[in-house]
Amino acid sequence: MASKMYDRAWLEDCLRRLAGEIVNNRTPSSAKALIGLRTRGAILADRLGELIRGEQGLELPLGYLDATFYRDDLGQGAGLKAVKPSEINFNINNRDIILVDDVISTGRSIRAAMGAIFDYGRPSSIRLCVMIDRGGRELPVQPDFLGARIEVPRGGFIRLKLHEIDPQGDAVYVVGPGEPEP
């Protein structure tokens, strides 16, 4: 059985802390923006945006990115699952982009996302915010804002569930090798 590592309360505390860190982080320009990586990173970016608005009174531009067409694993059948259009309706030039995703492992999807962002303009910086770092990096990409680090055995994975789209509600599961999806 997949084991539940964190629940809703943890996720809420974690997002509040990350929202504070993002606002207080010194970036090259003073104009920050959030871009969430579809699917769950986009929902997390929504929540972070709301927390930053509610608790800090700061309205950050918010965008959503689907980096499917920038992936490097076409030959492994990537890019054949459903996609959604990216929505970045603000000028990203000279902005500090906070890229938001749920889980980081190899770093390849972040690389793809950075490639996609540069096709919208030239940001002044890109920072990375992820909820869970599960290890297994294949590229030199590290989060600047991190919820928690969970080591997962080879062949296992992390599932972050969000109440907006998942029947399980807010939760983080560790799924061991051969174990079924939560």
Partner 1 sequence: MQWTRRHLLGLEELSAEEINFILERADSFKEVCTRPNKKVPALVGRTIVNMFFENSTRTNISFQLAARRLSADTLMFSKAGTSIAKGETMLDTARNIEAMGVDVMVLRHGASGAPWKLAANVSCAVVNAGDGQHEHPTQALLDLYTIREARGRIAGLTVGIVGDIAHSRVARSNIWGLTKLGARVMVVGPTTLIPREVEKMGVEVCHDMDHAVRECDVLNMLRIQFERQDGTNPFPSIREYKQMFSLTAERLARGKPDLLVMHPGPVNRGIEISPEVADGPKSLILRQVANGLAVRMAVLQMVAGVAAAS
Residue in 131, 13, 119 with CA at minimum distance from that of residue 66? 119
- With binding defined as CB under 8 A, does residue 85 bind partner 1? yes
Binders of partner 1 among residues 104 to 133 (CB under 8 A) are 115-116, 119-121
Nearer Cβ to partner 1 (81/154): 81
Q: From the CB of 48, what's the least distance to partner 1, in Å?
A: 23
Q: Which three-class secondary structure state does DSSP give residue 90?
A: coil
Residue 77 binding partner 1, by CB under 8 A: yes
Measured CA angle at 42 (ends 40, 47), to 5 deg: 95
50 phi-psi bin (left φ>0, alpha ψ -120 to 50, beta other): alpha
- CA 46 to CA 52: how far, in whole Å? 10
Least CB distance from residue 178 to partner 1, whole Å? 22
Instruction: Please report whether residue 9 would count as binding partner 1 according to CB under 8 A.
Output: no
Min CB(108)–partner 1 separation in Å: 13
Name the residues that contact partner 1, by CB under 8 A. Answer: 66, 68-70, 74-87, 115-116, 119-121
